[in-house]
Structure 1
Amino acid sequence: MEFIVYLAGEIHTDWREQLKKETAKRNLPFTFVGPMERHDLSDDIGEKIIGEQPGPVYKDEAASSINNLRTSLLMNKADLVIALFGEKYKQWNTAMDASTAITLNKPLILIRPEQLHHPLKELSNKANVTVENIQQALDVLSYVVEA
């Protein structure tokens, strides 16, 4: 059985590639989808499709509607959501995606370092599983499909 996993979280590090590579090494039956990882395209997609906007707020609104559509379609198809909260970047999109997964009743694995325990305690409490690193999330995935 093949599972679709939506990978929510910051797009500035290679955490998705690490997870995908290790999943392939373990021969686990997971296919991964997620947000647009090309930051410039994500920011510019509204103007690229519907044309130049009169200012930065309008540009952001145009891009957000398209990015939200992408997230909605892919997350609705997903069997599981993994949301990574990193230490370096602002995590608003991660919080929104994790909350959306909970609202959609999608199983959720939350990855967050120990130092983010307090600010994420309510969200963590609503997740199915909370771990502190990618390796632990991989171990959960392995266990899920263990014969």
Structure 2
Amino acid sequence: MELTVYLAGQIHDDWRETAKKKAMEKELPIQFFEPMTNHDRSDHIGEEILGEQPNAIFKDEAASALNNLRTNVLMHKSDIVIALFGDQYKQWNAAMDVGAATALNKPLILVRPESLHHPAKEMANQAQVVVENLDQAMEAIAYIFQKK
């Protein structure tokens, strides 16, 4: 059995590469999906596909529609969603992704440090498992594959 995991949440650091490395170290049979982490590509995709927009608001709306399409398709194809809620960046993406995972009835592992218990409490309530770090998230997934 192979699982497909969508790596949701904050997009401005390399936590996804760390998660992939940890999964490889554990030899977990996982395929990963993730949002567009190239910020420029994400911001400009609407105009790249739909053409120049009349102002910044329309440009953002066009990019948002295409990014939401991408997220919805990839999350829909995933077996599990891992959403990272960290304290370094704005967390709108994490909150939105948790809502999408819940709407799609996807099992959710929320990664958030204990210090962020309060601001992430609603997201934590939606998750099947809440962990404090990526090691714990990978251990939770490894447990799925254990036979005894």
Q: TM-score w.r.t. structure 1 length? A: 0.97
Which piece of structure 1 moves more, 60-69 or 96-105?
96-105
SS of the residue aligned with 2:35?
Answer: coil
**Aligned counterpart, 2:64:** 64
Amino acid in the other structure paired with 1:61: E
Which segments of 5 or more consecutive residues in structure 1 lack a partner in the other structure?
A: none
Q: How many residues were matched structurally?
A: 147
Amino acid in the other structure paired with 1:71: T
Does residue 41 of structure 1 match 2:41? yes
Amino acid in the other structure paired with 1:27: E
Determine if contact 2:82/2:111 at 8 Å carries over to the other structure: yes
Deviations 1:58-90, CA, capped at 9 Å, x for gaps: 100000000000001001110000000111111
SS of the residue aligned with 2:31?
Answer: strand
**Aligned counterpart, 1:113:** 113
Counterparts of 1:40 and 1:108 in 2: how far apart (Å)?
Answer: 28
Q: TM-score w.r.t. structure 2 length? A: 0.96
Q: Per-residue deviation at 1:7? A: 0.5
Counterparts of 1:59 and 1:125 in 2: how far apart (Å)?
Answer: 34
Does residue 16 of structure 1 match 2:16? yes
Q: Per-residue deviation at 1:55? A: 1.0
Amino acid in the other structure paired with 2:137: A
**Aligned counterpart, 2:76:** 76
SS of the residue aligned with 2:45?
Answer: helix
RMSD: 0.8
Q: Per-residue deviation at 1:122? A: 2.1
Amino acid in the other structure paired with 1:67: N
Counterparts of 1:69 and 1:126 in 2: how far apart (Å)?
Answer: 22
Which of structure 1's runs of 4+ aligned residues deviate more than 3 A?
Answer: none
Give the fraction of aligned pairs with identical amino acids, expressed as a percent: 59
Amino acid in the other structure paired with 1:81: V
**Aligned counterpart, 1:92:** 92
Which segments of 5 or more consecutive residues in structure 2 lack a partner in the other structure?
A: none
